[in-house]
Amino acid sequence: MVDVPLGPIGTAPSPATEDVELYHPHSWVTKYVFSQDAKIIAIQYSFVALTVGLIALVLSWLMRLQLGFPGVFTFIDANAYYQFITMHGMMMVVYVLTALFLGGFGNYLIPLMVGARDMVFPYLNMLSFWVYLLAVLILVASFFAPGGPTGAGWTLYPPQAIMSGTPGGQDWGIVLMLVSLMVFIIGFTMGGLNYVVTVLQARARGMTLMRMPLTVWGIFTASFMALLAFPALFVGAVMMLFDRALGTSFFMPAIVEMGQTLDRSGGSPLLFQHLFWFFGHPEVYIVALPAFGIVSDLISTHARRNIFGYRMMVWALLAIGALSFVVWAHHMYVSGMNPYFGFFFATTTLIIAIPTAIKVYNWILTLWRGDIHLNVPMLFALAFIVTFLNGGLTGLFLGNVVVDVPLSDTMFVVAHFHMVMGVAPILVIFGAIYHWYPKVTGRMLNDTLGKLHFWVTFLGAYAIFFPMHYLGLMGVPRRYHEIGEMAFVPPSAHTLNAFITIVALIVGAVQLVFVFNLFWSLRHGRPSGGNPWRATTLEWQTPETPPPHGNWGKELPVVYRWAYDYSVPGAAEDFLPQNQPNAQATAGLAHG
Amino acid sequence: MAVALILVLIALGSVAFHLWSPWWWTPIASNWSYIDTTIVITFWITGAVFVAVVLFMAYCVYRFRHRQGQQAHYEPESKRLELWLTVITGVGVAAMLTPGLFVWHQFISVPEDATDIEILGQQWQWSFRLPGPDGKLGTTDARLISPDNPLGLSREDQSGQDDVIVEGGELRLPIGKPVKALLRSVDVIHNFYVPEIRAKMDLVPGQVSYIWFTPTRTGTFEILCAELCGLGHSQMRGTVVVQEQKDYQTWLQGQASRSFARLSPDAQ
Amino acid sequence: MGSILIFLSVLLIIGVWWLSRQGLMAKPWLEQGIAADWPSTSSAAPAAAKAGLKVFLAVVGSLFALFISAYAIRMQLPDWRALPLPKVLWLNTGMLILSSLALHGAWNAARQGKDDELKIGLLAASVTTLAFLSGQLLAWRQLTTEGYVLSSNSANAFFYVLTGIHGLHLLGGLAVLGRTTARAWQGVGAERLRLSVDLCAMYWHFLLLVWLILLSILTGWAGNMIDICRQLLS
């Protein structure tokens, strides 16, 4: 390996702005609606994704009401219940988390953090958002279609997904779901190409890969993975659509449905599961890696200390990304696939725990001997570590083939994946919004409301999902409209379910405080200045806040150091911005 | 201070909940106590890591909280520390994986003397087929399913003639004898799940999967479907009755004579 | 899932090779200043477009590798009845090869600034591509009239889906190629068309490669090859 040859320390001539080929908007519509500015697109993505998130939150309330108080809310029959869980799951995983991390944070942060004026293909980027919106509209349309949305579970396993015993199976529901997913994937590919190529090609002078903040590393790796993994879902969706609409038998074996022999034969339901999880498992990391990256930067900034073991963090990120493509069948231990696959997939799955554990260690080692400012973003980052650790460790149960046998398809699984890819990444999203809101708007979010939001969300979410594991350990299966009377379920379990529901309602309600804070602070928040957290990364060094179209004014920034020069001995301040040439100079270069 | 305290409470509270909450697995009724052992091992290892990490965090948050004039320590990385942590994690992972793979090997290796039975799922009920006196199950085909042949038995196959068919009712098994359950579905994917037996496996239309177990105590246990199979998913229940060998034989005799009449070739 | 794993391993090797040249072992906290040989930003636009296309081709490759994986799993099931391939496919293959060659010629011409050769090359590529696509439609019609309809067997369904997806990708490329051809004939010089021609040529060569792989699978050669390799190994 060759170290990067370095020029003499000191100021290098900044490249004069060449003719910047940015599309300059002329009207309000091209500036704020059909905008090609990555930052506006990011806000559009985030707004739509958060709206979908609120819908999915309401759906989760409804299903929790049924689970906590069965029979009380009669409008939630089995039909509605299965539709709610399906839409809740699919919306949260794909249309909220993926869209928010990559379309939202990716769009806002990548160009700013690598010192570019915009994404490399702004027009494609704009198209990406509008295609995403179309996908969302198609998905929401299924609520109003005859028969309602699909109730096949978010995994959409055939044959039941396209049969009449499932809500939406022989109606419009499943068709709209599959079409919406395909449209989403097309839209995502447009965006994903942008995120990847911008990192590859548009970095500022001096921004070597190893100087990039981990946020960029995380989003970059996740985008690349998503580009390669989403085609698997696309293939599965195309084939299932053919099975549903054109009578093919890709996934449909000979079937006798309610005494009626269907005109299908020979297909393999397991083939769909392989395709689905070939997408589905990398998808977990597509959500997790940006969260890893962002949380690393939050911890480092607010603990005023460089992220511990930066190189190891980068390598671990890449290792996790690569390994996540060879673990997919750990979702299929009890699916009836060749049981000998279990040995391979259990081993790869548990190996992936090692780089993940290294990341956790490095986060807490960054806290160690730091100078910890317990700002709201930092609180969320700490809560992320707790919940991610908890969910990651229960993953070791489910990944270890034979341990998975009694636990799979129970509430243990539900608790596990909500903790690890529901609660943990969402806490990061909140932390990131509190952290970057000042850059987006020029104002701080209200601190008191933020703390209220934090404590209720964190403790509430933990109180929901931690006990839920034990319901699963007891044997309560997931996706049951009604648990009813089971000999092995004591009455106390029903009390626990009611408790979980009440906490879920409270946690859901407190999100309204957050939404209120978002809008209220837009006008009434404390003005933040350009760099309120005294952070080193480039996005905080823009000449103006919020940054205008083109980000940097006349001159592009030049990068002299890595992203984590906090508390460097001998420096005048406890942080050295990446574009500051000299350690001794007072910070404040190019401050807005 | 408050934050550190709450972190400590979370770590200790979680352990306390684990130890003293009334929610734990239901007593086992099969030979798979090894599976329970692997779960306990995993609980110990992961629990120790969880408590250690959260307590360390709490310590850091308290000890290194921001105070006037404090500066963070500058140390980009420590190869030795990271190497040690990696090695320790690797050992922990191996300690969970190794017993897991051993038990998995047992789980998929059916003993020679296991009796074949068939469990068939359809929306939304369970049916069972037990071999008659000849100890063999006859072959089946989903395309042969009709009202008078609900399991799609092939009538050409002699070994199917004496099979005992139980529709939508209870599965009876003798205690202490290993069973290999062949799992089949005629419509969508179901999953045969008895919490007391611990084992579970999908029933996939178009193929036959299997599990094996040995019932180790008599009693009546609930069968659940653990794979979403449509609207009636949560109503898809059945029962397993584990009996002493003698009682089981008596019951089987009674069944065999009945099913023979129903499935004889001239019933077509 | 073999073919997708092979495809991803190839990408992994490329990725590791690329990363190994990016100073991934460097200790960034020890380095200050900027690299002396930092590439100038003036060539950014063409480089970005080419990088973008390469990443896109990785996505397309992943899509086809997954379809092929699905094909390989599905064809092992007992109800599979391979369908006879229409003869016209061979003519189509010839057309696609010609089209790729024509674009290679156009690429050379654009490089050397020969406007006339460029025009002819682009036109030839467009025409042969159209011929390929019409030939594929003809193959579909032949098969349906002979009774090999979509729903009667999965082998048929896969044939239509694979050729259809491949054709759609080519059709998308044709939109760009058509526009480039039109501009060339309107007198836009080779210098300004060079990037578009580069991109089209790369895309066409890739889709030709995909088609040849698909053809080898549809004819069963790939399967035979794998069997022979297996026998040699065992």
Is A10 in Cβ contact with C63 (below 8 Å)?
no
Neighbours of B105 (CB within 10 A): 15
- Pick the range with the lowest mean pLDDT from A67-71, B131-135, B214-218: B131-135
- Contact indicator for A413, A398 with CB cutoff of 8 Å: yes
Higher pLDDT, C228 or A240: A240
Q: Per the structure block, which two tokens stand in for C74?
A: 């599905």
Q: How far apart are CA C198 and CA C104, in angstroms?
A: 9
pLDDT tens profile B5-27: 999 999 999 999 999 999 999 99
Q: How distant is the Cα of A524 from the closest Cα of chain B, in angstroms?
A: 28
Is C62 in Cβ contact with A311 (below 8 Å)?
no
- Pick the range with the lowest mean pLDDT from A403-417, B31-45, B119-133, B226-240: B119-133
| Residue A11 pLDDT greater than 60, yes or no | no
Helix (H, G, I), strand (E, B) or coil at B193: strand
> What is the arithmetic mean of pLDDT over A564-587?
82
Q: How far apart are CA B109 and CA B132, in angstroms?
A: 24
Neighboring chain C residues of A250 at a CB cutoff of 8 Å: 70, 74, 154, 157
DSSP A420: I
Is A473 in Cβ contact with B25 (below 8 Å)?
yes
- Contact indicator for A389, A423 with CB cutoff of 8 Å: no
Neighbours of B209 (CB within 10 A): 23
List A residues 328-387 in contact with B (Cβ-Cβ < 8 A).
334-336, 339-340, 342-343, 346-347, 350-351, 353-354, 357-358, 360-362, 364-365, 367-374, 379, 382, 385-386
> What is the arithmetic mean of pLDDT over A13-29?
56
- Pick the range with the lowest mean pLDDT from A23-27, A37-41, B92-96, C21-25: A23-27
Q: Per the structure block, which two tokens stand in for C155?
A: 């082998």
Residue A148's pLDDT band, with cuts at 50, 70 and 90, is very high
- Pick the range with the lowest mean pLDDT from B166-175, C47-56, C165-174: B166-175
Is C8 in Cβ contact with A228 (below 8 Å)?
yes
Query: Looking at the structure, do residues B208 and B149 belong to the same domain, yes or no?
Result: yes
Is B76 in Cβ contact with A406 (below 8 Å)?
no
Name, in order, each residue with C-beta under 8 angstroms of A198's C-beta and a sequence gap of 6 or more. Answer: A110, A111, A114, A116, A119, A120
Nearest to A353 by CA among B101, B90, B88: B90
Q: How far apart are CA A126 and CA A145, in angstroms?
A: 29
DSSP codes, A92-128: IIIIIIIIIIIIIIIHHHHHHHHT-SS-S-HHHHHHH
Q: Which domains does chain A have, with CATH numbers?
A: 40-251+267-305 (1.20.210.10), 534-592 (no CATH)
Q: Number of folded domains in chain B? A: 2
Whether C159 has its CB under 8 Å from any CB of chain A: the answer is no
Hey, which chains touch C, using 3+ CB pairs under 8 Å? A
Q: Does any domain span residue B242?
A: yes
> What is the arithmetic mean of pLDDT over B62-86?
92
Query: Looking at the structure, do residues B145 and B188 belong to the same domain, yes or no?
Result: yes
Whether A463 has its CB under 8 Å from any CB of chain B: the answer is no
Name, in order, each residue with C-beta under 8 angstroms of A537's C-beta and a sequence gap of 6 or more. Answer: A113, A213, A215, A297, A563, A577, A578
In percent, the amount of chain A with pLDDT more than 70 equals 94
- Contact indicator for A564, A307 with CB cutoff of 8 Å: yes
Whether A152 has its CB under 8 Å from any CB of chain B: the answer is yes
pLDDT tens profile A150-164: 999 999 999 999 999
Q: How distant is the Cα of B116 from the closest Cα of chain A, in angstroms?
A: 17
How high is the pLDDT of residue B201? 95
Nearest to A111 by CA among A202, A25, A228, A206: A202
How high is the pLDDT of residue C226? 78
* Nearest-CB residue to C63 (from A208, A209, A231): A231
Kindly report the CATH class assigned to C86-234: mainly alpha
Q: How distant is the Cα of A591 from the closest Cα of chain C, in angstroms?
A: 20
Q: Is A505 left (phi over 0), alpha (psi -120 to 50) or beta?
A: alpha
Q: Does any domain span residue B191?
A: yes
How high is the pLDDT of residue C35? 64
* Nearest-CB residue to A306 (from B76, B103, B183): B76
> What is the arithmetic mean of pLDDT over B114-139?
86
Q: How distant is the Cα of A153 from the closest Cα of chain C, in angstroms?
A: 22
* Nearest-CB residue to A403 (from B24, B42, B201): B42
pLDDT tens profile C89-135: 999 999 999 999 999 999 999 989 888 899 999 999 999 999 999 99
Helix (H, G, I), strand (E, B) or coil at B127: strand
In percent, the amount of chain A with pLDDT more than 90 equals 82
Domain extent, residue B174, equals 115-267
Query: Looking at the structure, do residues B127 and B164 belong to the same domain, yes or no?
Result: yes
Dihedral through CA B20, CA B25, CA B29, CA B33, nearest 10?
-90
Determine whether A18 is exposed, middle or buried from the number of CB atoms within 10 Å of its CB (0-12, 13-18, 19+).
Answer: exposed
How high is the pLDDT of residue A5? 40
Query: Across the A/C interface, how many CB contacts are shorter than 8 Å?
Result: 185
CATH code of B174's domain:
2.60.40.420
Q: How distant is the Cα of A238 from the closest Cα of chain C, in angstroms?
A: 9
Helix (H, G, I), strand (E, B) or coil at B4: helix
Q: Per the structure block, which two tokens stand in for A44?
A: 């559009």
How high is the pLDDT of residue C40? 54
* Nearest-CB residue to C47 (from A5, A201, A205): A201
How high is the pLDDT of residue A495? 94
Q: How distant is the Cα of A197 from the closest Cα of chain C, in angstroms?
A: 6
Neighboring chain A residues of B50 at a CB cutoff of 8 Å: 389-390, 393
* Nearest-CB residue to A409 (from B26, B205, B226): B226
pLDDT tens profile A107-146: 999 999 999 999 999 999 999 999 999 999 999 999 999 9
Q: Which of A3, A110, A188 to mutate to test the interface with C (most CBs of C within 10 A)?
A: A3
Q: Does any domain span residue B69?
A: no
Mean pLDDT of chain C: 90
Query: Looking at the structure, do residues B159 and B30 belong to the same domain, yes or no?
Result: no
Q: How far apart are CA A70 and CA A64, in angstroms?
A: 9
Q: What is the identity of the amino acid at B152?
A: G
Strand partners, B225: B192
Most confident option among A263-267, C211-215, C227-231: C211-215
Q: According to DSSP H, which parts of C150-189 are helical? A: 154-185
- Contact indicator for C163, A244 with CB cutoff of 8 Å: no
Nearest to A232 by CA among A271, A269, A198: A271
Q: What is the identity of the amino acid at A151?
A: G
Q: Does any domain span residue B165?
A: yes
How high is the pLDDT of residue B257? 64
| Residue B264 pLDDT greater than 50, yes or no | no
- Contact indicator for A214, A310 with CB cutoff of 8 Å: yes
* Nearest-CB residue to B228 (from A347, A400, A479): A479
Whether A210 has its CB under 8 Å from any CB of chain C: the answer is yes
How high is the pLDDT of residue A8? 39
Q: How far apart are CA A171 and CA A161, in angstroms?
A: 11
pLDDT tens profile A81-106: 999 999 999 999 999 999 999 999 99
Hey, which chains touch B, using 3+ CB pairs under 8 Å? A
Q: Per the structure block, which two tokens stand in for A460?
A: 């509430």
DSSP codes, A122-183: HHHHHHHHHHHHHHHHHHHHTTTSTT-S--STTTT-TTGGGSTTSTTSSSSHHHHHHHHHHH
Q: How distant is the Cα of A504 from the closest Cα of chain C, in angstroms?
A: 39
pLDDT tens profile C155-209: 999 999 999 999 999 999 999 999 999 999 998 888 888 999 999 999 999 999 9
> What is the arithmetic mean of pLDDT over A28-46?
89
Q: Rounded to whole angstroms, what are the CA distances from C223 to A74, B211, C68, C76?
A: 56, 33, 11, 11
- Contact indicator for A195, A106 with CB cutoff of 8 Å: yes
Residue A589's pLDDT band, with cuts at 50, 70 and 90, is very low
- Contact indicator for A423, A465 with CB cutoff of 8 Å: yes
Is B209 in Cβ contact with A374 (below 8 Å)?
no
Q: Does any domain span residue B73?
A: no
How high is the pLDDT of residue A583? 67
**pTM check: above 0.90:** yes
How high is the pLDDT of residue C43? 47
Is C41 in Cβ contact with A5 (below 8 Å)?
no
Query: Looking at the structure, do residues B95 and B144 belong to the same domain, yes or no?
Result: no
How high is the pLDDT of residue A571? 85
Query: Looking at the structure, do residues B195 and B131 belong to the same domain, yes or no?
Result: yes
* Nearest-CB residue to A208 (from C35, C40, C69): C35
DSSP A232: H
Q: Which of A18, A190, A197 to mutate to test the interface with C (most CBs of C within 10 A)?
A: A197
Q: How far apart are CA C56 and CA A230, in angstroms?
A: 13
Whether A247 has its CB under 8 Å from any CB of chain C: the answer is yes
Is B42 in Cβ contact with A400 (below 8 Å)?
yes
Whether C120 has its CB under 8 Å from any CB of chain A: the answer is no
Q: How distant is the Cα of A348 from the closest Cα of chain C, in angstroms?
A: 14
Mean pLDDT of chain B: 89
List C residues 34-53 in contact with A (Cβ-Cβ < 8 A).
34-38, 40-42, 44-45, 47-48, 51-52
Is C25 in Cβ contact with A246 (below 8 Å)?
no
Neighbours of B94 (CB within 10 A): 11
Q: How far apart are CA A21 and CA C25, in angstroms?
A: 35
Dihedral through CA A174, CA A176, CA A178, CA A179, nearest 10?
160
Residues in chain B: 268
Is A487 in Cβ contact with B65 (below 8 Å)?
no
- Contact indicator for A259, B147 with CB cutoff of 8 Å: yes
Q: Which residue has the tokens 């399967």?
A: C223
Query: Looking at the structure, do residues B142 and B255 belong to the same domain, yes or no?
Result: yes
| Residue A409 pLDDT greater than 80, yes or no | yes
Query: Looking at the structure, do residues B100 and B139 belong to the same domain, yes or no?
Result: no
Q: Rounded to whole angstroms, what are the CA distances from A524 to A16, A430, A516, A517, A577?
A: 38, 20, 12, 10, 29
- Contact indicator for A211, A578 with CB cutoff of 8 Å: yes
Q: Does any domain span residue B75?
A: no
Query: Looking at the structure, do residues B160 and B58 belong to the same domain, yes or no?
Result: no
Whether A214 has its CB under 8 Å from any CB of chain C: the answer is no
Query: Looking at the structure, do residues B138 and B59 belong to the same domain, yes or no?
Result: no
Q: Which of A114, A189, A208, A576 to mutate to test the interface with C (most CBs of C within 10 A)?
A: A208
Nearest to A561 by CA among B77, C28, C39: C28
Whether A510 has its CB under 8 Å from any CB of chain C: the answer is no
| Residue C39 pLDDT greater than 70, yes or no | no
Q: How far apart are CA C198 and CA C132, in angstroms?
A: 21
| Residue A543 pLDDT greater than 80, yes or no | yes
* Nearest-CB residue to B198 (from A267, A406, A569): A406
DSSP codes, A541-571: G-SSSS--TTSSTTS--B--S-TT-BS-TT-
Q: How distant is the Cα of B162 from the closest Cα of chain A, in angstroms?
A: 24
Show me where the domains of chain C are located. Answer: 86-234
Name, in order, each residue with C-beta under 8 angstroms of A152's C-beta and a sequence gap of 6 or more. Answer: A82, A86, A160, A161, A166, A167, A168, A169, A174, B228
Query: Looking at the structure, do residues B228 and B263 belong to the same domain, yes or no?
Result: yes
Strand partners, B238: B223
